[in-house]
Amino acid sequence: MIATIADWLGAFCLVAGALLGLAAAIGVLRFPDALSRMHAATKPQVLGVLLLLLGIGLRLRSPADLGMILLVAVFQLATAPVAAQMIGRAAYRSGRLDRSLLDADELADR
């Protein structure tokens, strides 16, 4: 009974994660500027990957697999924000963004 519920919950997480990954990919292709693309590439993509990993973990349930899934999740959470920061910084420094879209520009005096 519990295994069946975990399987259904895992399947739901897999589908939800895949849909969030699809939304992130569409956002990267459709958004007009670098900062919007950066947002689309990080926010729904990270949540989508975490939901996929949760779904896989609910389906596999072995300790070795769960340990590997946990390592992948920690690595994803550690690298995605840093990558987004570097992409945003490079876009700002190279002038490839519309500064009129910024609410506050803390780096304008540098």
40-59 tens-digit pLDDT: 888 888 999 999 999 999 99
Question: Which pair of structure tokens corresponds to residue 85?
Answer: 């920061």
Q: What is the mean pLDDT of residues 83-96?
A: 87
Looking at residue 46, its amino acid is V
**Residue 41 and residue 82 in contact, taking contact as beta carbons nearer than 8 Å:** no
Residue 16 resides in a domain: yes
The arithmetic mean of pLDDT across residues 62-84, rounded, is 93
Mean pLDDT score of the chain: 90
Given this model, what pLDDT does residue 34 score? 85
Domain residue limits at 18: 1-94
**Does residue 109 sit within a domain?**
no
Q: How many domains does the chain have?
A: 1
Q: What is the pLDDT of residue 22?
A: 95
Q: What is the pLDDT of residue 35?
A: 85
Residue 6 in domain:
yes
Instruction: Give a yes or no: residue 66 inside a domain.
Output: yes
- Residue 100 within a domain: no
Asked whether the predicted pLDDT for residue 109 surpasses 80, the reply is no
Within-domain flag for 34: yes
pTM: 0.84
Cβ atoms of residues 17 and 55 within 8 Å? yes
Answer yes or no: is 47 within a domain: yes
